[in-house]
């Protein structure tokens, strides 16, 4: 396999470690939350909600590059580069190093409240001259054991415990798409898979077809990206019953170790409806915030990306935000008008945009910081930490770590200096996300804009945050600025760190004309006392009857009112002024608005389209043969259960594929359906104008599996 590729292809590898293949050396009244004694259940541990990360700041760590806390677990021989001069090899960072940096205050004093760590499971231990080692953690061998170079399970559990004791959540990177490279000369380990120490299969020794054997993807279409290998990585066939259960058993075992969140790698490269069954498994076992990685390039927007975030049950890394902020504050190819367009687009496309995980850089792109232009990083961090979504800071960004594409973007942590401007920006703004609900839940409103200056406001309940930024080398005179801030005087929440200053707001919400100096950021905030129910977040956004759902916001009151799914009251598990836990009531599968009503009968605005699943979800491959279509037509399935659209062709499932696993005129699609259920359905053809052609004959019937995958095959009924 030739690993020479252009930038677009390299970035598409998304942390798989296959590109040119990183260590670590050593004025306002706050609403008071009160609990009804009748609903006095406490949070587990000392961390916040495991399904709501909107007031958190995540810190992403490439474990091997952060801090070597235990030299005794460092690799031997060719796997290891002791001075990290070879960024393709292991450099010694481990879980003990992360524990040490929690305990010495570096992470806690920065204000971060969640850690996203590299995949923790056992990886292959071979070395390839071209592609290096598995230091990054994305080349799994055994999903049920630990990476010995990061530590054993006792150390992992200690990391979780120490993090929790310090109010920090732990997010685990999960890689259910593949194992490891299967190289022609077997210089790696042929994609080998173990199950808790027992050999299962390898790519060349795969009699049960646990992997896809369809060649490598050329990214020509969505189907190709799912059912072919990402370059030479051994690509799981999740529709195989053993693999389906193996991956779900593995994630259950890690949930049992106390993790609080999951980042799912390469979600654009796995069947979307199978991933929905994965999310149902997670929420049925232990609900945690889960977000996927669907890579988008600069300026790229993809409707499938938005559809996945709204239908899969998981959120996404916010590549639309991340790529655009880089264009505005790093490359200077776009301006604030372009940025505002992205903010409006994403708010309209995502069902819950505040659940998307925003960033300015990560392990799959060049570092944001360019030497000599550190001020741009400061500006970008200020915007990131005050914008909608869950902000993620990539390790070393606070130290202005530079570097090009992989592996240069995964250099060792250069220092743990707490005096850098970037560190102090995070230190000042991260706590503000927890103390002012406008940053967690508020909509974004443009207040003043030109190509260089942007004033945006976040408002939720009686809480307001107004942010102004001048990215240019020129001063601008600002007039006509209006705000929702109440009349009064306001200090800059950055304490002048980025040239900001205090301001006064008039009784009509106006701010008198002023000059905004170059490279200046001002953050002004008001924390109010919200006294009527304001619903900010619902998580998870799908579930079965009996699953617990957390409703967050303000003004719910200290005594329990009620939570409604549609017109049905939900059993309340716990209630406080800012958080309610309720069970999904007994409802048929479908979409329901969620509302909160306080004891005075005041009802909140609705969170729209919470999805109630019919039952446990399993993945079934529907195959229809000999379905010839006219140009512009595609094949779909529609049936009598919610998951199949309840006979509504506007909600039919598809479009089906017809090129890789089965070829035209045979069509297939992997669909989530309720387990152990007798279903009725038909195949339909739908053209680009929405015209529907039903197949003839009686309704088809099929009894779905109880706990695994299934397949239905039939001919088109002409």
Secondary structure letter of residue 413 according to DSSP: B
> What tokens were used for 312?
């899969």
Residue 521 has pLDDT above 80, yes or no: yes
What separation, in Å, do the N-terminal and C-terminal C-alpha atoms of the chain show?
45
Determine the 3-state secondary structure of 460 from DSSP: strand
For residues 680 and 637, is the Cβ–Cβ distance under 8 A? no
Give the integer Cα–Cα distance in Å for 206 and 226.
19
Active site residues: 265, 293
Residues 405-440: tens digit of each pLDDT = 999 999 999 999 999 999 999 999 999 999 999 999
Residue 473 has pLDDT above 80, yes or no: yes
Residues 193-209: tens digit of each pLDDT = 999 999 999 999 999 99
Residues above pLDDT 70, as percent of the chain = 93
Please state whether beta strands 579-583 and 114-117 pair in parallel, antiparallel, or not at all (unpaired): unpaired
The model's pTM: 0.93
Give the integer Cα–Cα distance in Å for 114 and 56.
7
pLDDT value, residue 22 = 31
For CA atoms 153, 159, 162, 168, give the dihedral sign. negative
Give the integer Cα–Cα distance in Å for 407 and 388.
30
Judged on CB neighbours under 10 Å (0-12, 13-18, 19+), 184 is exposed
> What tokens were used for 434?
């927890």
Q: What number of CA atoms fall less than 13 Å from residue 233's CA on the CB side?
A: 33
pLDDT value, residue 231 = 85
Paired residues of 292 in beta bridges: 264, 316
What mean pLDDT comes out for the span 565-579?
Answer: 98
pLDDT value, residue 393 = 98
DSSP codes of every residue in 503-560: EEE-TTSEE--EEE-TTEEEEEEE-----S-EEEEEESSEE-TT-EEEEEEE---SS-
Give the integer Cα–Cα distance in Å for 367 and 613.
41
For residues 381 and 326, is the Cβ–Cβ distance under 8 A? no
Give the integer Cα–Cα distance in Å for 468 and 464.
13
pLDDT value, residue 287 = 97
Q: Can you point out the beta strands (E) in 37-138?
A: 58-60, 114-117, 121-123
pLDDT band (50, 70, 90) for residue 187: confident
pLDDT band (50, 70, 90) for residue 174: very high
pLDDT value, residue 183 = 76
Cα-to-chain-centroid distance, residue 157? 23
Region for residue 690 given its phi and psi (left: phi exceeds 0; alpha: psi -120 to 50; beta: otherwise): left
> How many H-runs (helices) and E-runs (strands) does the chain carry?
13, 40
Residue 491 phi, psi dihedral angles, 5° rounding = -90, 155
Residue 41 has pLDDT above 70, yes or no: no
Nearest CA to 27 among 459, 504, 480?
A: 504
CA distances (Å), origin 609, targets 56, 316, 465, 565, 591: 25, 18, 28, 10, 5
Q: What number of CA atoms fall less than 13 Å from residue 449's CA on the CB side?
A: 12
For CA atoms 663, 666, 669, 674, give the dihedral sign. negative
Residues 315-359: tens digit of each pLDDT = 999 999 999 999 999 999 999 999 999 999 999 999 999 999 999
pLDDT band (50, 70, 90) for residue 143: very high
pLDDT value, residue 129 = 87
The most distant pair of C-alpha atoms in the chain lies apart, rounded to whole Å, by: 75
pLDDT band (50, 70, 90) for residue 4: very low
Residues 13-27: tens digit of each pLDDT = 333 344 333 333 333
């Amino acid at each position: 396999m030739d690993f020479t590729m252009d930038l677009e292809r390299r970035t598409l590898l998304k942390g798989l470690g296959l590109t040119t293949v990183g260590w670590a050396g050593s004025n306002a009244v706050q609403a008071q939350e009160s609990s009804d004694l009748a609903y006095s259940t406490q949070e587990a541990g000392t961390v916040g909600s495991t399904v709501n990360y909107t007031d958190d700041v995540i810190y992403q760590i490439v474990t091997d590059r952060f801090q070597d806390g235990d030299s005794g677990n460092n690799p031997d021989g060719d796997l290891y580069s002791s001075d990290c001069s070879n960024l393709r090899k292991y450099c010694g960072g481990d879980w003990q190093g992360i524990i040490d940096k929690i305990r010495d205050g570096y992470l806690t004093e920065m204000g971060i409240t969640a850690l996203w760590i590299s995949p923790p499971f056992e990886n292959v231990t071979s070395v390839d001259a071209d592609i290096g080692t598995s230091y990054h953690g994305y080349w799994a061998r055994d999903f049920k054991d630990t990476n010995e170079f990061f530590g054993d399970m006792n150390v992992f559990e200690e990391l979780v415990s120490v993090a929790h004791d310090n109010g920090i959540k732990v997010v685990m990177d999960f890689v259910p798409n593949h194992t490891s490279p299967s190289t022609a000369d077997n210089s790696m380990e042929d994609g080998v898979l173990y199950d808790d120490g027992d050999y299962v299969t390898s790519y060349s020794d795969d009699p049960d077809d646990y992997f896809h054997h369809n060649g490598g993807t050329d990214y020509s279409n969505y189907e190709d990206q799912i059912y072919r290998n990402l370059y030479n990585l051994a690509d799981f066939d999740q529709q195989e019953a053993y693999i389906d259960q193996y991956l779900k058993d593995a994630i259950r075992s890690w949930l049992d170790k106390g993790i609080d969140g999951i980042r799912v790698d390469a979600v654009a490269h796995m069947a979307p409806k199978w991933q929905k069954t994965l999310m149902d498994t997670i929420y049925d076992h232990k609900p945690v915030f889960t977000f996927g990685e669907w890579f988008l390039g600069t300026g790229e927007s993809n409707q499938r990306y938005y559809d996945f975030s709204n239908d899969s049950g998981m959120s996404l890394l916010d590549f639309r935000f991340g790529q655009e902020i880089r264009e505005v504050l790093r490359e200077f190819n776009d301006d604030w008008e372009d940025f505002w367009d992205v903010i409006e687009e994403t708010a309209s496309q995502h069902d819950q945009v505040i659940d998307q995980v925003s960033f300015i850089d990560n392990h799959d792109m060049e570092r944001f910081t360019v030497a000599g232009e550190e001020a741009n990083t400061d500006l970008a961090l200020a915007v990131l930490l005050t914008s909608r979504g869950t902000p993620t800071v990539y390790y070393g960004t606070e130290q202005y770590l530079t570097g090009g594409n992989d592996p240069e973007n995964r250099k060792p942590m250069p220092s743990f200096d707490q005096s850098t401007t970037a560190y102090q920006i995070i230190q000042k703004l991260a706590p503000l996300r927890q103390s002012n609900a406008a940053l967690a839940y508020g909509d974004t409103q443009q207040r003043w804009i030109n190509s260089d200056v942007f004033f945006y406001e976040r408002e939720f309940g009686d809480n307001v945050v107004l942010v102004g930024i001048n990215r240019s080398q020129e001063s601008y005179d600002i007039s006509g600025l209006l705000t929702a801030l109440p009349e009064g005087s306001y200090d800059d929440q950055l304490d002048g760190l980025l040239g900001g200053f205090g301001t006064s707001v008039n009784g009509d919400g106006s701010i008198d004309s002023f000059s905004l100096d170059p490279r200046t950021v001002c953050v002004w905030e008001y924390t109010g006392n919200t006294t009527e129910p304001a619903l900010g977040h619902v998580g998870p956004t799908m579930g079965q009857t009996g699953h617990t759902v957390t409703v967050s916001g303000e003004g719910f009151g200290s005594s329990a009112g009620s939570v409604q799914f549609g017109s049905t009251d939900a059993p309340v598990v716990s209630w406080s002024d800012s958080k309610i836990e309720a069970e999904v009531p007994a409802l048929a599968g479908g979409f329901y608005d969620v509302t909160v009503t306080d004891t005075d009968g005041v009802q909140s605005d609705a969170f729209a389209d919470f999805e109630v699943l019919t039952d446990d979800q399993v993945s079934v491959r529907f195959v229809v043969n000999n379905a010839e279509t006219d140009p512009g037509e595609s094949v779909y399935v529609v049936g009598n259960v919610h998951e199949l659209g309840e006979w509504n062709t506007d909600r039919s499932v598809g479009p089906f594929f017809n090129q890789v696993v089965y070829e035209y005129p045979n069509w297939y699609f992997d669909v989530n359906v309720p387990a152990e259920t007798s279903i009725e359905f038909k195949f339909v053809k739908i053209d680009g104008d929405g015209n529907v052609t039903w197949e003839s004959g009686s309704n088809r019937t099929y009894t779905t599996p109880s706990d695994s995958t299934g397949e239905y095959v039939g001919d088109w009924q002409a």
